[in-house]
Amino acid sequence: MNAAKTPPPSRCRCLVLNPGLEVLDYRVPPGMVVGPGSVVVAPLGPRQIIGVVWEDGRLPGADFPLAKLRPLLSVLPVAPLPAPLRRLIEWTADYYLAPLSQVARMALSSSAALQGGGMTTEYRLTGAEAGRMTPQRTRAIERLAGQQATIRELAELAGVSDAVLRGMVTAGLLEAVRVDSDRAYPMPNPDHAVPDLNDGQAEAAEHIIAAVRARRFAPFLLDGVTGSGKTEVYAEAIAAALAMDRQVLILLPEIALTQNFLTRFEARFGAAPVAWHSALKASERRRAWRQVSLGGAKVVVGARSALFLPFADLGLIVVDEAHEIAFKQDDGVRYNARDVAVMRARFEAVPVVLASATPALESLAMAEAGRYERLVLPDRFGGAQMPDIRIVDLRTDQPERGRWIAPPLVKALKERAERGEQSLLFLNRRGYAPLTLCRGCGYRFCCPNCSAWLVEHRLSQRLACHHCGHEVPPPPTCPECGEPDCLVACGPGVERIADEMAQILPDARVIVATSDTLNSPDKAAEFVELVTGGGVDVIVGTQLVTKGFHFPDLTLVGVIDADMGLEGGDLRAAERTYQQIAQVSGRAGRGDKPGEVLLQTRHPEAAVIAALASGDRDAFYAAETEARRDAGAPPFGRWAAIIVSSEDEAEARDAARAIGGTRPSLADVAILGPAPAPLSLLRGRYRYRLLVNARRSSDLQSVLRDWLGLLKFPQGVRVAVDIDPYSFV
Ligand SMILES: [Zn+2]
Ligand SMILES: [Zn+2]
C-alpha cells in the first residue's frame, strides 16, 4: 500500500476480541497504515486487546466524533485477514447466532503467530550418553526420540520438569537448534507418483480439475462405495491446484486418521502436507499458521478448526468422510464444518469436494436439487468385491450366558484364525462395562456432576464419566451398603469383548482400538503399522476404526450390537446406524480376499438392518427421506435447540420457563418444551431444553434473535442456541 498516494483513513472500525463489546471505533495515529483485515492492538480501558480492522459499512457501530476516539496502539506483523475469511466470519456468526468475536478468535488461533516471525530456540537429543543417568533422564531420552521443540513442550512430552531438561542440556544430552518460525515446508510435487486411475475415477477427477482451473465455486458430492478410490480422485484435483501454485485444505473428521492420511499423501506427492489439529505443540501451531498466511504451506490437512485458517490463496477444499458427525462442533460456536466448508468455498470462489461412501441425507438432497454436482464411483478399486453381509438373529442364535459373541460369529472368527486372516469386532462403547452395580444392594455408580453412569475401564482400573472426565478408582466396598468386593459389571464395552475373544481364541493377538488407546497421531500410526505388518489377529474397536483404514488381510467384520445406535430417539439415529455399519463393513475384503460381515441384531426386520443386509442403499435413503419429510426434519424442515443451563437447578428451570413464556406464535414455527434435557445434569450444570422446528422457508435465525434478544437472565444462566443440532441430549 502506498501511503503517499492514498492517505490512511483517520478512523477505523474494529472487531475486537472481547465478547460483549465486539465493535469499536478507533483513531488511526499519523504514520500508521491499516486496511480491512489488519490485525491491530487497541486500548480498552487500562488494557490492551487484539482487534481486526473491518469495513465500516459491514459492522454496526456508534459514530462518535473523531476527537473522542482513542488511537490504535500498533499493527501486528501478520498479513491482513483476507476478505473471503472476513466474509466467512460474518456468515458463521450470523448463521449460528454466535458472537462475532468468538468466531474471529477461531481465525486468530495462534497467539504466538500474531507476534510475527523470527528465530526461536528448540532442543533435540544429541544421542550422546554422557553424564550421570537418573530415572528422569532415562525417561526423557525414551520419550523424546525424534522430537524437536522448546524446553517447555519437551518437558510436557517427557513428563519431567524444565529443570531436568536444562540439566540435560548442560550434560550434553540435549542440544539447542535455532529455527525460523517462517521457514517454509517442503513442497508437495504434483507429478511425484501419478497413479493409474480407472475410467470412473478419471472421469470424476476431470470434473473437479476443470473447476479448479476455472477458479469457480463448484460443490461436488463425491459418492463412492468404501474402497472405490475416492482419495485418488481428489488427489488429482489437489495436483491441479498445486500446479497452479495455489493452496489446498483437506478436512478429516478425526485426528487419529491424520497419520494414515499423511503417509498416503506423501507417497503420492513426495512430501507430507501440513497437519493442523488440537494436539499440535504451540511452536508447530505458530509455524503452520504463519505459513498458511504467507502461502508457504501448500496443503493443509486438519480437523474442523483448520477451516478458519487465513489461507493466502486457496484453490480447493476437500471434506473427507463428509457425513461424519465429528464435523459438528458441540460447544463454543456450534457449527458444522461440512456446511461451513461449502460457504468458505463460495466466498473463495473455489471448488469444494464432499467425499463419502454414505453421504448425509442433506448432501444427497442438495445433489438431487442440482445444487451440488454428484460424482459416483460405483465399483471397488482394483476389482475387489463388496463384502457379503449376513444377519445373526440374537433371539435364536444366543451367545452363551455372560457372553456377547453369538455362535455363528464365534465360528467365523475361528475360521479366520485358522486361515491366518484378520478380523474386526465393532462395538461403539469404550471401556469394559457401561454400568457397574453393587451385588448387595443394587447401588448404581453414577457421576456426581452428570446424569450418567460411570463406565468401568478395567485396563486403567478406574470408573470414568465419559461426559465430564470425572474418575475414581473402583472402591473396595459399596458406598451405599458397605459390602466388600461387591462390584458387578453390566453390559459390554470393547475391553470386555476383548476378554471374551481371549477365551474363544487363547492364542489370538487381540488389540483394543478406541480413543483411549489411539489418543495421539503417533499411537494411531503404530496401530496401523502393527495391523498392516500382520502383528494383530483381532481388532476390537469403536467408531474410530470404522473409516479411513485400509487393511488388505482383514476379511471378517463382526458387529456386536447393530441395534445400539437406534436407541435414544435421535433424529438421525437410523441414518447414523446405516452409515456406521456400512462404513465398518467397508473395512472387510479390501484386498484380493473376499470379505464377510456378520451383524448381530434383535431386530432383523428394522428397515435399516434389512437395507444393510440386502446392500440396498437406495431403498434405505428413500425410506429415510420419507420419514424425514413426515417429521418436517432436515432437509425438509429446520431444527434449532435452545439449551438453558445453570449450576442452580431452580434458576435453570425459571430461565427456561421465561423463554417458553415469551415464545412467538408463528404459523410456520413449532416450539416444543421447555423440558429437562435427557442429560439433565452435565458437568455440574442443570439443563433444560426447548426445540424449535421450522419450515424450510422460514427465517429461523431472525425468529430466534428477536425472541431471545429481548430477555435478560441472571449471571449464572447460560443460554446456548444450536442451529441444525445433531445431539438431542
Ligand atoms: Zn451396596
Ligand atoms: Zn460426569
Query: How far does residue 729's CA lie from ligand 2's centre (Å)?
Result: 14
Per DSSP, the residues of 299-344 read EEEESGGGGGS--SSEEEEEEETTT-GGGB--SSS--BHHHHHHHH
C-alpha of residue 448 to centroid of ligand 2, in Å = 7
Q: Which of 273, 296, 272, 274 is nearest to 285 (CA)?
A: 274
CB 144 within 8 A of CB 156: no
Q: Which residue has the cell 438432497?
A: 365
C-alpha neighbours within 13 Å on the C-beta side of residue 354: 29
Span from the CA of 437 to the centroid of ligand 1 (angstroms): 8
572 CA to centre of ligand 2 in angstroms: 25
Cα separation, 18 vs 105, in Å, equals 10
Q: Which of these, 381, 370, 374, lies nearest to 356 by C-alpha position?
A: 374
Of all ligands present, the nearest one to the C-alpha of 478 is 1
Tell me the helices (H) and strands (E) count for the chain, helix number first: 20, 29
Measured in Å, residue 442 CA sits from the centre of ligand 1 at 6
* Residues 6/28, Cβ–Cβ less than 8 Å: no
The confidence score (pLDDT) of residue 655 equals 97
Strand 11-16, strand 39-44: pairing: unpaired
Ligand found nearest the CA of 685: 2
Name the pTM for this structure.
0.89
- What DSSP character marks residue 2? -
Q: Which bound ligand lies closest to the C-alpha atom of 477? A: 1
Strand-strand pairing, 351-356 and 314-320: parallel
Judged by its nearest atom, the ligand closest to the C-alpha of residue 487 is 1
Contact 316, 350 (CB under 8 A): yes
Distance 564 CA to ligand 1 centre (A): 29
pLDDT at 279: 82
Ion ligand 1: residue ranges with CB closer than 5 A = 438, 440-441, 443, 478, 480-481
Instruction: Return the pLDDT at 130.
Output: 62
Cα 402 to averaged position of ligand 1 atoms, centre (Å): 21
CA torsion angle 429 430 433 434 (round to 10): -60
- Which ligand approaches the C-alpha of residue 451 most closely? 2
pLDDT, mean of each 10-residue run, the chain (729 residues): 53 90 92 95 94 91 85 96 98 96 95 87 84 84 86 88 91 90 90 93 97 98 89 97 97 80 92 90 91 96 95 97 92 95 98 95 94 90 81 96 95 95 96 94 94 93 94 92 92 96 95 88 86 95 84 94 80 88 88 91 92 89 90 91 96 96 92 93 96 92 94 94 87
Closest to 478 in 3D by CA, of 442, 433, 454: 442
Q: Which amino acid is at 277?
A: H
Residue that is written with C-alpha cell 466470519 in the block: 89
Tally of CA atoms within 13 A in the half-sphere of 560 that contains its CB: 25
How would you label 365-397 residue by residue, b for 16+ Cβ within 10 Å and e otherwise? bbbeeeebbbbebebbbeebebbebebbbbeee
Cα separation values, 611 from 38, 227, 589, 622, Å: 54, 20, 20, 11
Could you say which DSSP state residue 126 is in?
-
Distance 477 CA to ligand 1 centre (A): 8
Distance, in Å, from the CA atom of 323 to the CA atom of 118, rounded to the nearest integer, reads: 40
Question: Ligand 2 center to residue 449 CA distance, Å?
Answer: 5
CA–CA separation, 574 and 104 (whole Å): 36
Question: In this structure, what DSSP letter does residue 149 have?
Answer: B
User: From the CA of 454, which ligand is nearest?
Assistant: 2
User: Which strands sit side by side in the sheet containing 247-251, from one edge to the other?
Assistant: 274-276, 299-302, 247-251, 314-320, 351-356, 218-224, 373-377
- In the reported structure, the alpha carbon of residue 452 is separated from the centroid of ligand 2 by a whole-number distance in angstroms of 7
First-to-last alpha carbon distance for the chain, in angstroms, is 52
Residue that is written with C-alpha cell 473471503 in the block: 84
CA of 494 to the centre of ligand 1 (A): 26
Q: What cell does 554 get?
A: 482383514
Q: How far is the CA of 332 from the centre of ligand 2 (A)?
A: 19
Q: Which ligand is nearest to the CA of 472?
A: 2
Q: Nearest bound ligand to CA 486?
A: 1
Q: Which ligand is nearest to the CA of 679?
A: 2
Q: How far is the CA of 435 from the centre of ligand 1 (A)?
A: 14
Question: Per DSSP, which regions of 198-320 are E strands?
Answer: 218-224, 247-251, 274-276, 299-302, 314-320
344 Cα: distance to centroid of ligand 2 (angstroms): 36
The answer to whether 428 touches 513, Cβ cutoff 8 Å, is no
> How far, in Å, is the centroid of ligand 2 from the Cα of 453?
8
Cα of 300 vs centre of ligand 2, distance in Å, is: 35
CA of 471 to the centre of ligand 2 (A): 8
Ligand 2 center from residue 327 Cα (angstroms): 23
Beta bridge partners of 457: 462
In one-letter notation, the amino acid at residue 644 is V
CA of 427 to the centre of ligand 2 (A): 22
Backbone Cα Rg of the chain: 28
pLDDT of residue 6: 53
- As a whole number of angstroms, the distance between CA 582 and CA 226 comes to 8
Centre of ligand 1 from the C-alpha of residue 441, in Å: 4
What local confidence, expressed as pLDDT, does residue 165 receive?
Answer: 92
- Return the ligand number nearest the Cα of 448: 2
How far is residue 346's CA from residue 615's CA, in Å, rounded to a whole number?
35
How many A from CA of 440 to the centre of ligand 1?
5
**SS3 letters for 655-703?**
HHHHHHHCCCCECCEEEEEEEEEEEEEECCEEEEEEEEEEECCCCHHHH
What is the Å distance from ligand 2's center to 466 Cα? Answer: 7
User: What DSSP designation does 71 have?
Assistant: B
Q: What is the pLDDT of residue 1?
A: 45
Give the span between the Cα atoms of 647 and 717, in whole angstroms. 8
